[in-house]
Amino acid sequence: MTDSPPAGSPPTDAPSPEAAQAGRPYAPGLEGVIAGETSLSFVDGANGRLLYRGYRIGDLVEQGTYPAVANLLWSGDWDPGHRLATAPVPPGVLQILRALPTSTKPMDALRTAVSAWGANQDLPWPATAGQARALTAFSPSALAAFSRLRAGDEPIDPDPSLDLVEGFLYQLTGTKPDAATARALDAYFIVGAEHGFNASTFTARVITSTRSDIASAVGGAIGTMKGPLHGGAPSEVVDQLSQVGSADRAEAWVREALAKGERLMGFGHRVYRAYDPRAAALRTVAEGMTNKPEWLQLAIEVEDVALRVLAEKHPDRPLKTNVEFYAAPVLMGVGLTPDLFPATFSLARHAGWTAHVLEQAGDNRLIRPDVNYIGPAERDLPR
Ligand code: ACO
């Protein structure tokens, strides 16, 4: 705290706040502001490219698994055989999840679980890769446990023989998923793992920069992702696909929606001007499934029509498929209900959040930007 001037102080000769702040650049929403450096991912919107530590997202989806990608982000090493199973929910955390109302939103339950997990751990500064692994392995079990508890079912213990995404589906449903289902959700986890300085990742870095712990950073990131501007889009794609209903209605539906001035969910992107590489990777996985869930089949057929009609209506503006278009049918296709979509996205983003926590802690400077004061000029208190 700085000392206050004595009461009744005379006016200063300082310039007005406006003059004192003149010429300082301001970008609402920090758009275009470089707020840090990272070696974790490169989001290249103009060229439709996403690299994790230099590796193309499509290659990582084709040849990797979520644990291998998480390990790549944490350590910088590519080990395609790297394994990570889900971890048990500590009894104290389970007790808290049992006490939540069944109406609790899954994102609130996950944020609460991460906070309670942190309260049960010793998490000294600086965060370690061991802490990142432990938290990333804990959260899928916690979300699965909450999802079962609210339905009146008992949580299921992790099966250490299953990799993280398979284990999550097993603990959620009580059934071990078939290979194609696990692979589709694993691909979704890989494409959702990391995406530069998005709002939740930036939150995690700000919290870490105060030398706070990894559970606080990830808890704050979950709170940020809960906002519909960040984690909410895939369920709208589901709504539109269900309105289309069947592939033969796609063309008429798309033309009618555009004629009414509606936007097609899952198309266009603020950063990507080319085809979103995450959508391309998910589509490839979807097409490779022998038994495509009907949601995926419908999405593939609707996409072709939508791209053709959008190109016809907006010949000068590239409007291509974005990641949400394929995220939605993949999540529906593996049996998740739409209210679990944002929390499942959060599970996937744990790898990126925690890798950013490690990167921030490794070369830390308190993140403390400046603000333009736009209130009243200096004045005397009324007598
Ligand atoms: N369907 C139909 N028309 C579209 C779409 C769309 N999905 N997206 C843009 N357009 C049209 C606009 O109507 C506008 O047309 P006009 O110039 O005739 O008025 C033109 O393209 C430019 O639109 P902007 O809003 O300026 O484009 P911007 O790049 O700012 O928007 C956004 C990006 C918000 C994602 C937009 O494309 C959109 O609303 N898409 C649908 C929602 C969606 O899929 N969201 C998920 C994004 S991915 C993510 O967040 C991870």
Query: Residues with Cβ < 8 Å from 304, sequence gap 6 or more?
Result: none
Span from the CA of 20 to the centroid of ligand 1 (angstroms): 39
Span from the CA of 325 to the centroid of ligand 1 (angstroms): 13
- Sign, CA torsion 231/67/57/302: negative
CATH 1.10.230.10 range(s) for the chain read 233-333
The CATH number of domain 233-333, selected from 1.10.230.10, 2.40.37.10, 2.130.10.10, 2.40.50.140:
1.10.230.10
What gap in Å lies between CA 326 and CA 371, rounded to an integer? 39
Q: Which two tokens stand for residue 295?
A: 């949601």
Confidence at residue 1, expressed as pLDDT on a 0 to 100 scale: 47
Q: 166, 194, 195, 269: which is the annotated catalytic residue? A: 269
8 A C-beta contact, residue 225 and residue 342: yes
Confidence at residue 227, expressed as pLDDT on a 0 to 100 scale: 87
**Three-state SS letters, the chain:** CCCCCCCCCCCCCCCCHHHHCCCCCCCHHHCCCCCCCCCCEEEECCCCEEEECCEEHHHHHHHCCHHHHHHHHHHCCCCCCCCCCCCCCCHHHHHHHHHCCCCCCHHHHHHHHHHHHHHCCCCCCCCCHHHHHHHHHHHHHHHHHHHHHHCCCCCCCCCCCCCHHHHHHHHHHCCCCCHHHHHHHHHHHHHHCCCCCCHHHHHHHHHHHCCCCHHHHHHHHHHHHCCHHHHCCHHHHHHHHHHHCCHHHHHHHHHHHHHCCCCCCCECCCCCCCCCHHHHHHHHHHHHCCCCCHHHHHHHHHHHHHHHHHHHHCCCCCCCECHHHHHHHHHHHCCCCHHHHHHHHHHHHHHHHHHHHHHHHHCCCCCCCCCCCCCCCCCCCCC
Torsions phi, psi for 85 (to 5 deg): -100, 165
Span from the CA of 263 to the centroid of ligand 1 (angstroms): 7
What gap in Å lies between CA 353 and CA 111, rounded to an integer? 14
| Cβ of 319 less than 6 Å from ligand 1 | yes
The model's pTM: 0.91
Confidence at residue 231, expressed as pLDDT on a 0 to 100 scale: 78
Span from the CA of 29 to the centroid of ligand 1 (angstroms): 18
Q: Is 324 a catalytic residue?
A: yes
| Cβ of 331 less than 6 Å from ligand 1 | no
Hey, which of 255, 307, 314, 321 would you mutate to test ligand 1's pocket, going by the most ligand atoms within 8 Å of its Cβ?
314
> Using one digit for the tens of pLDDT, what is the confidence trace for 158-184?
999 999 999 999 999 999 999 989 999
Which atom of ligand 1 is found nearest the CA of 263?
1
CA 292 to chain centroid, in Å, comes to 25
- Sign, CA torsion 113/115/119/120: positive
Q: 166, 303, 324, 359: which is the annotated catalytic residue? A: 324
> Using one digit for the tens of pLDDT, what is the confidence trace for 101-156?
999 999 999 999 999 999 999 999 999 999 999 999 999 999 999 999 999 999 99
| Cβ of 324 less than 6 Å from ligand 1 | yes
| Residue spans of the chain under pLDDT 50 | 1-2
Confidence at residue 290, expressed as pLDDT on a 0 to 100 scale: 65
| Cβ of 269 less than 6 Å from ligand 1 | yes
CA 238 to chain centroid, in Å, comes to 18
8 A C-beta contact, residue 246 and residue 299: no
What gap in Å lies between CA 187 and CA 181, rounded to an integer? 10
Confidence at residue 359, expressed as pLDDT on a 0 to 100 scale: 98
Which atom of ligand 1 is found nearest the CA of 322?
48
What gap in Å lies between CA 293 and CA 275, rounded to an integer? 23
Query: Hey, what CATH class is 57-77+84-228+340-362 in?
Result: mainly alpha
* Cis amide bond preceding 126, omega within 30: yes
CATH 1.10.580.10 range(s) for the chain read 57-77+84-228+340-362
Among protein residues, the one whose CA lies closest to atom 30 of ligand 1? 270
Torsions phi, psi for 78 (to 5 deg): -95, 110
Q: Which two tokens stand for residue 49?
A: 């490219």
Span from the CA of 311 to the centroid of ligand 1 (angstroms): 13
| Cβ of 383 less than 6 Å from ligand 1 | no
CA 48 to chain centroid, in Å, comes to 19
Q: Is 356 a catalytic residue?
A: no
